[in-house]
Homo-oligomer: A and B are copies of this chain.
Amino acid sequence: MITSTANHRIRTIRSLTRRKERDTLGLAYVEGIRPVIEAIESGADLETVVIASDLLTSDRAYSVLSDLQQRTQSPSYQHLNIEYLEVSARVFRSISNRDGPQGIAAVVRQRWEQLEDVHLRDEDCWVALVEIADPGNLGSILRSCDATGVDGVIVLGTSADPYDRTALRASSGTTFTRRLVRSNWDSFTAWARSEGVAITGASGDAIQSYRGANYSSKSVLLMGSERKGLSQEQREACTHLVSIPMLGKTDSLNLAVATTLILYEQLHQREVGTGVPEKST
In the complex, which residues of chain B have a beta carbon less than 8 angstroms from the beta carbon of A276? 276
Interface centre among A170, A253, A261 (most CB of B within 10 A): A253
Q: Are A248 and B149 in contact (CB under 8 A)?
A: yes
In the complex, which residues of chain B have a beta carbon less than 8 angstroms from the beta carbon of A170? 254
Please measure, in the bound complex, the distance between the C-alpha atom of A245 and the C-alpha atom of B267, giving whole angstroms.
Answer: 10
Contact of A174 among B145, B146, B250, B274 (CB under 8 A): B250
Q: Which of A3-11, A96-104, A136-144 contacts its partner? A: A136-144
Nearest B residue to A171, CB-CB: B250
Please measure, in the bound complex, the distance between the C-alpha atom of A177 and the C-alpha atom of B248, giving whole angstroms.
Answer: 9
Distance in Å from the Cβ of A59 to the closest Cβ of chain B? 20
- Using a CB-CB cutoff of 8 Å, which residues 145-161 of chain A contact chain B? 145-149
Contact of A260 among B136, B149, B260, B273 (CB under 8 A): B260
Work out how many copies of this chain go into the complex: 2
In the complex, which residues of chain B have a beta carbon less than 8 angstroms from the beta carbon of A143? 250, 253-254, 257
Distance in Å from the Cβ of A46 to the closest Cβ of chain B? 16
Please measure, in the bound complex, the distance between the C-alpha atom of A41 and the C-alpha atom of B279, giving whole angstroms.
Answer: 34
Interface centre among A211, A250, A267 (most CB of B within 10 A): A250
In the complex, which residues of chain B have a beta carbon less than 8 angstroms from the beta carbon of A245? 147, 267
Please measure, in the bound complex, the distance between the C-alpha atom of A252 and the C-alpha atom of B268, giving whole angstroms.
Answer: 18
In the complex, which residues of chain B have a beta carbon less than 8 angstroms from the beta carbon of A149? 247-248
Please measure, in the bound complex, the distance between the C-alpha atom of A274 and the C-alpha atom of B244, giving whole angstroms.
Answer: 20
- Seen from chain A, the residues whose Cβ lies within 8 Å of a Cβ on chain B are 41-42, 136, 140, 143-149, 170, 172-174, 177, 211, 244-250, 252-254, 256-257, 260-261, 264, 267-268, 272-274, 276, 278-280
